[in-house]
Structure 1
Amino acid sequence: MESWNQTSTDAMRSHVPAEVNKRIDERVERCVRHMAQQDRAEISRYLVKLEREWDINRAVTVVGSLVAVGGLALARRDGKGWRVLGGVAAGLLLQHGLLGFGPLSRLVRVLGGVRSRREIDLEKFALKALRGDFERIPKNDGGPLARANAALVAAQS
């Protein structure tokens, strides 16, 4: 199953190596397949966990802000040269805010596997479909794998 995640409008996916996106997609597929064998209560518990998951925007904002504040704190203590670190971090945050991606966001995604909000939402919708929140997913026809595949496709549409 290679083509369920067609998020071509997701700026982050188009600016990182394909293998990173593939690794994230495979993690989602494994999760949805596993959840297809679980009961509604277990799916609901996992959905609560997904609601708390940080997306790439939040992670980049926190990391960039920490670097900027750290640069300013070091500049105050050890000299003005550290201000450059704060300025670079602010520039990277600005780039991410304007373009939806940048070197800092790429680094966070590649090293941490942090997903975009759209990717997290796709997994949530697939799990909600498995749970029975939507009418398009068969209840027991075809087994867990068929239900998981149908849920992933339904989440995309």
Structure 2
Amino acid sequence: MFPTTADRVSENTAAHVNERIRRETRWQAERIAARGPLAVRRRLRELDREWDIERTLEANAATLSAAGAALALGVDRRFAAIPLVVGGFLLQHALQGWCPPLPLFRRLGVRTQSEIDAERYALMALRGDFRGVDEGPSAARAARALDTTKS
């Protein structure tokens, strides 16, 4: 009835957007791999700080809810509808994996944790953390590493 947690966002994202995110992830891994171990280490630190779609949606919902509550208390009580609507959207996202801001954030390139982890594991494999992936030209190694980490 409900999609799995790991799949719910990608199942509710347009196929061309999912494909663009995959292409950009592959391109990024190939580019970083070609730059060497220091670039890989730097990129892994960047990935540790990257906000995934869940965190982005939560921050967006919290901001809109707080603003709506403040406006309801200070300006007009009809603004109380904002936190109610935002809360409903957040519940919809929790259950179905879709809510109105999701398509916008995905088009902006905000990735799921699984997508971020796929790049992370590909870079770790390129760094030599895993066996059997670290042979050949860097672009081919990046592609193989990403293929082995598909979620």
From 10, 14, 20, the equivalent of 1:23 is: 20
Distance 1:75 1:138 in 2: 58
Give, in angstroms, the shift of residue 67 of structure 1: 0.5
Q: Which runs of 5+ in 1 are unaligned?
A: 1-8
From 127, 136, 141, the equivalent of 1:147 is: 141
Q: Report the AA paired with residue 90 of structure 1.
A: G
From 21, 36, 48, the equivalent of 1:51 is: 48
Query: Helix, strand or coil for the counterpart of 1:103?
Result: coil
Aligned to 1:100: 97
RMSD: 1.5
Aligned to 1:3: none
Q: Which runs of 5+ in 2 are unaligned?
A: 1-5
Q: TM-score, with normalisation over the residues of structure 2?
A: 0.89
* Misfit runs of 4+, over 4 Å: none
Task: Map Cα deviations across residues 75-121 of structure 1 (whole Å, 9 max, x no partner).
Answer: 112211111111101111122223333223333223x3211000000
Distance 1:155 1:124 in 2: 9
2:63 is equivalent to residue 69 of structure 1? no
Q: Report the AA paired with residue 46 of structure 1.
A: R
Bigger shift: residues 93-102 or 71-80: 93-102
8 Å contact 2:52–2:113 — kept in the other structure?
A: yes
Q: Report the AA paired with residue 140 of structure 2.
A: A
8 Å contact 1:50–1:124 — kept in the other structure?
A: yes
Query: Helix, strand or coil for the counterpart of 1:36?
Result: helix
Identity of aligned residues (%): 36
